[in-house]
Structure 1
Amino acid sequence: MASFYGIGVGPGDNELLTIKAVNTIKKLDILYAPQAHKGGRSVAENIAAPYLPANLKIKRRHFPMTNDWEKKIKSWQEIAEEIAKDVKNDNNVGFLTLGDPSVYSTFSYIAEMLAERIDIQTIAGISSFSQIAASLSIPLMLDEESLEILPATADITQLEKAIDLNDNVVIMKIATRFAQVYKILEQRDLLSKTIVVENASMETQKKQRLIDYSVNDKLPYFSTALLKKGNKNVKSN
């Protein structure tokens, strides 16, 4: 029986794909990948490129990056219908996601639309925040410490609550509202306990304490902040 696979390709380094992800890619008949803004391959496809079979059919599709949910849902539904047709025609179909498919992934929405119609398998990947902790050789949490993961696009009150109530906080997509997040942490004297990692595990990776940034700095899209209150000062290397 053919299946639809959501495949996590990790944060950027193609050596961080799991063996299961690579083996799943090798048995695909069709692969769906996001269309890059200027055409060509997306970041996720570039990461997986060394493992893609030469005869694999790749369907690049545009996924709107917008706050217009009606527009996004319409696009997802159209792509979901195409995927369902491919699977019902006895093709193993894959969908690439950055990091892990269960963390802020478009795959989750499409899988929900197709859950009652086709067989769906999720192949876990290494998340950016797990890789960030590994690259810093520090734990995300210990013993009874708490950890909250949320995007910088969350409501300001939600961000403040997460920062105030948790020992460790991962703030993803920080580039989208960097100044606001910076000010929230500055007001709480937490800049020195926060590390920002740009382009985690990629060739352009950069690790820097938040206190060494300026509030008006512009960060790459793939930037994540890790707050660890238990550390006197988080080190960037």
Structure 2
Amino acid sequence: MAKFYGIGVGPGDPDLLTVKATKLIQQLDVLYTPKAHHGGVSVAEKIAQPYLPADLEIKQRHFPMVKDLATKEKSWTAIASEIVSDVQAGRDVGFLTLGDPSVYSTYSYILARVQDQIAVETIAGISSFSQIAASLSIPLVLDDELLTVVPATTDEATLKSALALNDNLVIMKVATHWQMVYQLLAAAGLLDQAIVVANASMAGQEITPVQQLTADSKLPYFATMLVKKHQRLVE
């Protein structure tokens, strides 16, 4: 029976795709790859490129990065309908997504629209924050400590509360609201306990202790922050 597969490609290094993901890609009839801009490239497809068969049909689809929910939902519904048609025609269909499919992934919006109509399987991937902790050779969370993952796009009160209540914090999409994040860290006295990793595991990866930055620093789009309240993250 044909099936739809959501495939996490990990944070950026092609070597970090799972063995299961690479084997599955070889067996697909169709592969959907998301891109943020018309005429742009799919980052997820670029990561998986070493494993893509030459004869695999690839469908790049635009996922608009806008605030208007109606615009995004229209795109999600159209792409989901196309995927359902492919699977119902007897084709095994894959969808690539950065990191892990269950963490802030475009795949989740497609999944919600197709899972009652076709068979679905989700293939886990390595998240950016797991890779960041590994690259720094530090534990992400220990014993009875708390760990929270929060997007910097949340409101200031929520982020302030998360900093106060948790031992460890992962802040995603930190470049989009950097000044607010920096000021909250400074007010909490946590500049020495925070580090930013941009383009994790990709070419051009940058690891920067927050103590070396300012509120006016400009960060790359793929930047994630790790805050560990009980460990200094500066040399």
Match of 2:198 in 1: 198
Amino acid at match of 1:183: Q
Q: Is the 8 A contact 2:36 2:63 kept in 1?
A: no
Amino acid at match of 2:4: F
Distance in 2 separating the partners of 1:141 and 1:40: 37
Q: Tell me the alpha carbon deviations over residues 98-154 of structure 1, each in whole angstroms, 9 at most, x when there is no partner.
A: 000000001111111111100010000000000000000000011000000010001
Match of 1:149 in 2: 149
Shift of 1:200: 0.3
Structure 2 counterpart SS, 1:140: coil
Match of 1:208 in 2: 208
Match of 1:131 in 2: 131
Match of 2:140 in 1: 140
Amino acid at match of 2:233: V
Distance in 2 separating the partners of 1:235 and 1:121: 41
**Once superposed, what is the RMSD of the aligned Cα atoms?**
1.0
Match of 2:233 in 1: 234
Shift of 1:38: 5.8
Match of 1:225 in 2: 225
Distance in 2 separating the partners of 1:165 and 1:63: 34
The two structures have a TM-score, normalised by structure 1, of 0.97
Shift of 1:167: 0.1
Match of 1:81 in 2: 81
Distance in 2 separating the partners of 1:92 and 1:35: 21
Unpaired runs of 5+ residues, structure 2, are none
Number of residue pairs matched by the alignment: 235
Q: Tell me the alpha carbon deviations over residues 13-51 of structure 1, each in whole angstroms, 9 at most, x when there is no partner.
A: 000000001011111100000135362531110000000
Q: Is the 8 A contact 2:97 2:105 kept in 1?
A: yes
> Which consecutive aligned stretches of 4+ in structure 1 deviate over 2 angstroms post-superposition?
35-41
Match of 2:42 in 1: 42
Match of 1:164 in 2: 164
Q: Does 1:174 align with 2:185?
A: no
Amino acid at match of 1:160: K
Structure 1 counterpart SS, 2:103: coil
Identity across the alignment (%): 58
Amino acid at match of 1:195: I
Unpaired runs of 5+ residues, structure 1, are none
Q: Tell me the alpha carbon deviations over residues 64-97 of structure 1, each in whole angstroms, 9 at most, x when there is no partner.
A: 0011111100100000000000000011100000
Shift of 1:217: 1.0
The two structures have a TM-score, normalised by structure 2, of 0.98
